[in-house]
């Protein structure tokens, strides 16, 4: 993981930015020498800098690159982790008191220490990283900005959870550890606002290594990950869903490898995984324009499906209540949402069964209920439970009525309409407004597809 950086907006920033660019260019040159001095191997076919990059520093091909070529190699000893930092022994001794659900706290404390240590082994790396002021993650937006710009996207709820967890972890784990070791940590460390910035920095710039468990196939290795780590050089690369490079983890080093041919002048893009726009904005502070992100999704509350089922004349309040209780007993309405992707419903099995039950007449439902969800048809030939956009066009009318009504209600959750979004030029907006628009617009386009396929 790492963040795709983006420049500021507004002509008034130009004079200050010119000076900043000069300083950053010098820091970048020092960083590249530091990489060379510490065993990083960078291909002569790429160049690091702002020129040709979509946002701030990036990596650009200066000659054609073939699929499979290694772009750079990072020695594992140069990764910034709790076990390589300057207080590794202290963190190891305190590991039991730093346990948390996220597993991030040892790295967060290590990074706090190194960031404030002028003699840090990673000083040159940390100096070239964007200033905390440039972090535009929604956790740093005002509450009114989040409520106005992110309504309906799911980002508000994610940020609220983050802020609760950050406050809890700081007060219950980090702060006591810092106060216990005052000889190592000064007063600056005992500041929750500074801690929030370190959390955001790790969210936006850290990487996690897939862990292959015993008996696992190679393509299953990404189901479990290790705690996060900071990876100099790799976090300079920007992200797009259609990436052309990928980070590979080997025993003694990490390698960035081209997974497609890259033409001269093209930017080298890493990937942070199969990540929807709302997650990109929440974790990294940016989003991709529709339809570029083929991993984009939108979560639609299941309660909207239940509300939409009321439109079927035979669904009395009591019958709907009985159906919902049955679905919950069958563990089919246990999730709060169903997920829509670029090709259709991703949580298709659960939603298929939900639509099937909610659209039944009372006699059919009673018979179905008596058989605990099994029917004679099911025993002979399993239903095709796919819910792609193409399949939606062939669904029973009662199912399409529920889906269309549910999707229409979902569109009402946003603070703008799809028509308003499409009349707006994203590039004309301030940074946070632009990425909020891209996030909501992509989601609304997916929801609109449901309506188009069901009407």
**pLDDT the model gives residue 219:** 52
Rounded Cα gap, residues 410 and 443, in angstroms: 10
**pLDDT the model gives residue 276:** 98
What string of pLDDT tens digits covers the 455 residues of the chain? 444 443 333 333 333 444 557 778 899 999 999 999 999 999 999 999 999 999 889 999 999 999 999 999 999 999 999 999 999 999 999 999 999 999 999 999 999 999 999 999 999 999 999 887 778 899 999 999 999 999 999 999 999 999 999 999 999 999 999 999 999 998 889 999 999 999 999 999 999 998 876 655 555 444 566 899 999 999 999 999 999 999 999 999 999 999 999 999 999 999 999 999 999 999 999 999 999 999 999 999 999 999 999 999 999 999 999 999 999 998 887 778 999 999 999 999 999 999 999 999 999 999 999 987 776 555 444 568 899 999 999 999 999 999 999 999 999 999 999 999 999 999 999 999 999 999 999 999 999 999 999 99
Q: Are 424 and 430 in contact (CB under 8 A)?
A: no
Q: Are 28 and 232 in contact (CB under 8 A)?
A: no
**pLDDT the model gives residue 2:** 44
Q: Indicate the Cα dihedral angle 386, 388, 394, 395, nearest 10°.
A: 60
CATH architecture of 11-284: Alpha-Beta Complex (3.90)
The CATH number of the domain covering residues in 298-454: 3.90.1420.10
Domain ranges of the chain: 11-284, 298-454
**pLDDT the model gives residue 373:** 72
**pLDDT the model gives residue 133:** 73
Under 8 Å CB-to-CB from 37, ≥6 apart: which residues?
none
**pLDDT the model gives residue 335:** 73
Secondary element (H or E) of residue 358: helix 348-358
Strands (E), 271-349: 298-301, 337-341, 344-345
**pLDDT the model gives residue 449:** 98
In whole angstroms, how far apart are CA 392 and each of 117, 157, 398, 400, 401? Answer: 58, 30, 12, 7, 11
Rounded Cα gap, residues 339 and 300, in angstroms: 6
């Amino acid at each position: 993981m790492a963040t795709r950086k983006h420049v500021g907006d507004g002509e008034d920033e130009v004079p200050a930015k010119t000076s900043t660019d000069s300083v950053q260019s010098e820091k970048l040159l020092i960083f590249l020498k530091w990489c060379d001095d510490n065993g990083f191997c960078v291909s002569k076919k790429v160049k690091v800098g702002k020129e040709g990059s979509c946002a701030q520093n990036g990596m650009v091909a200066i000659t054609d690159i073939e699929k499979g070529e290694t772009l750079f190699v990072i020695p594992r000893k140069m990764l910034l982790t709790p076990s390589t930092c300057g207080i590794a022994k202290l963190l190891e001794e305190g590991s039991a008191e730093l346990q948390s659900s996220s597993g991030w706290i040892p790295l967060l404390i290590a990074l706090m220490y190194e960031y404030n240590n002028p003699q840090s082994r990673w000083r040159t790396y940390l100096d070239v990283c964007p200033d905390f002021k440039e972090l535009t993650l929604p956790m740093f937006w005002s509450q009114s900005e989040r409520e106005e710009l992110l309504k309906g996207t799911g980002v508000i709820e994610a940020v609220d959870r983050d802020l609760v967890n950050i406050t809890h972890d700081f007060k219950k784990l980090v702060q006591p550890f810092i106060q216990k070791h005052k000889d190592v940590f000064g007063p600056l460390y005992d500041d929750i606002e500074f801690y929030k910035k370190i959390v955001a920095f790790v969210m936006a710039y850290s990487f996690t290594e897939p862990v292959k468990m015993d008996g696992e196939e190679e393509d299953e290795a990404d189901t479990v990950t290790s705690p996060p780590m900071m990876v100099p050089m790799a976090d300079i690369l920007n992200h797009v869903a259609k990436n052309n490079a990928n980070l590979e983890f080997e025993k003694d080093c990490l390698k960035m490898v081209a997974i497609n041919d890259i033409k001269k002048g093209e930017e080298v893009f890493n990937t942070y995984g199969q990540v929807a726009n709302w997650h990109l904005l929440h974790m990294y502070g940016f989003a991709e324009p529709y339809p570029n992100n083929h991993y984009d999704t939108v979560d639609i509350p299941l309660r909207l499906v239940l509300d939409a089922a009321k439109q079927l004349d035979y669904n009395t309040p009591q019958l709907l209540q009985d159906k919902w209780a049955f679905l919950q007993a069958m563990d089919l309405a246990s999730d709060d949402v169903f997920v829509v992707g670029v090709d259709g419903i991703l949580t298709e099995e659960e939603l298929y069964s939900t639509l099937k039950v909610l659209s039944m007449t009372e006699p059919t439902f009673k018979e179905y209920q008596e058989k605990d969800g099994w029917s004679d048809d099911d025993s002979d030939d399993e239903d095709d439970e796919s819910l792609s956009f193409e399949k939606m066009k062939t669904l029973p009318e009662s199912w399409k009525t529920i889906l269309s009504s549910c999707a229409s209600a979902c569109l009402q959750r946003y603070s703008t309409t799809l028509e308003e979004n499409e009349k707006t030029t994203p590039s004309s907006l301030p940074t946070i407004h632009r990425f909020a628009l891209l996030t909501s617009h992509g989601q609304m386009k997916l929801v609109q597809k449901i309506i188009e396929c069901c009407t």
